Amino acid sequence: MAIAAIEGNGDHKVLVLHGWALDSGVWLTARALSDVGRFTFAYVDFPGYGVAQEQVPADGIDGMAQAALDDAKGLGWEEFSVLGHSMGGLTALRVATLAPEQVRSVVSVTPASPAGTPLDEQTYAAFAAAWSDPGPTIKNGLSPNMADEDLNRLVARNRASMTQQVWDAYLANWTGASFFSELGSLTMPVTLFYGESDPFITEEYLAETVNALQNVEKVELKGSGHYPMIEAPARSVPLWERALLKG
């Protein structure tokens, strides 16, 4: 298994999936505010990240979703909700389409698109090259209002939790997602959150995904960009916990 931490003793079990730029440590501030009496949270590191750094990166979004499902199986969890951020929010939706009978609810925070995110050659190259100095890309392209000290911690965690090989592999994974046509089969509650100041995952970006889902709510997170668990955790955690409880 690639579980970085398990917290809580609640009956409602939650797989928690991280995004592209760093491992499950992205949730650290939010973890301190989480309701561990009502929920049990399992914080997953995708293959190649964090506690799973020795593993080969997952093959596509399907490989990532299967890794998460394998972790749930290893925990003995037959039913659970999924909370994911960005690339992990996209993967949360894939977990639900692969194992709908097991998933109670899905909460995707600033999720990438299940239809993929086609980038022109220049933009893709810029994202790949951002490995050498991810701070400006995060600040300018994702979270323009993030405090400098939070950005510095995020970048430090990035350096400690992954390699350039992992960075490149997962860039290909999240930009190349292709299971959009399966979203219409989902009946469990799905909540999509987007940050008020996120210039990348906007309300318009999410519109196609929202329209494809049967049982969906879209929520703006005030005072946040792409990383609400870092930028506005006290405001965000109660909102996504309420969304998890829909299932």
In 10 A of CB 171, how many CB atoms?
Answer: 18
pLDDT in the model for residue 76: 98
Beta carbons of 23 and 45 less than 8 angstroms apart: yes
Beta carbons of 108 and 93 less than 8 angstroms apart: yes
What is the secondary structure of 105-124 as a DSSP string? EEEEESPPPTT-----HHHH
Residues 203-218: tens digit of each pLDDT? 999 999 999 999 999 9
pLDDT in the model for residue 133: 93
Residues 98-139: tens digit of each pLDDT? 999 999 999 999 999 999 999 999 999 999 999 999 999 999
Q: What's the token pair of residue 47?
A: 């293959």
Work out the pLDDT band at 62, boundaries 50, 70, 90.
very high
Beta carbons of 196 and 221 less than 8 angstroms apart: yes
Dihedral angle of Cα 176, 197, 233, 186, to the nearest 10 degrees: -40
Report the chain's mean pLDDT, rounded to a whole number. 97
Q: Whole-angstrom Cα distance, residue 81 to residue 244? A: 7
pLDDT above 90 for 55: yes
User: Cα-flanking dihedrals φ and ψ of residue 100, to 5°?
Assistant: -60, -30
Q: What is the pTM of this model?
A: 0.97
Q: Give how far Cα 232 sits from Cα of 68, 143, 146, 158, 238, Å.
A: 26, 12, 10, 20, 11
Q: Rounded to 5 degrees, what angle do the CA atoms 107, 34, 1 make?
A: 70
Percent of the chain with pLDDT over 90: 98
pLDDT in the model for residue 221: 97
pLDDT above 80 for 165: yes
Domains and CATH numbers, the chain: 3-244 (3.40.50.1820)
Ranges 91-95, 118-122, 144-148: which has the least confidence: 118-122
pLDDT in the model for residue 206: 98
Q: Whole-angstrom Cα distance, residue 39 to residue 28? A: 16
Q: Letter for the amino acid at 152? A: N
Q: Give how far Cα 57 sits from Cα of 5, 20, 104, 144, Å.
A: 20, 12, 27, 29
| 70-86 average pLDDT score | 98
pLDDT in the model for residue 33: 98
Q: What's the token pair of residue 221?
A: 């997170």
pLDDT in the model for residue 214: 97
Q: Give how far Cα 192 sits from Cα of 85, 148, 215, 217, 220, Å.
A: 10, 27, 11, 6, 9
pLDDT above 80 for 1: no
Q: Whole-angstrom Cα distance, residue 17 to residue 40? A: 14
Burial category of 245 from C-beta neighbours within 10 Å (exposed 0-12, middle 13-18, buried 19 and up):
middle
pLDDT above 80 for 83: yes
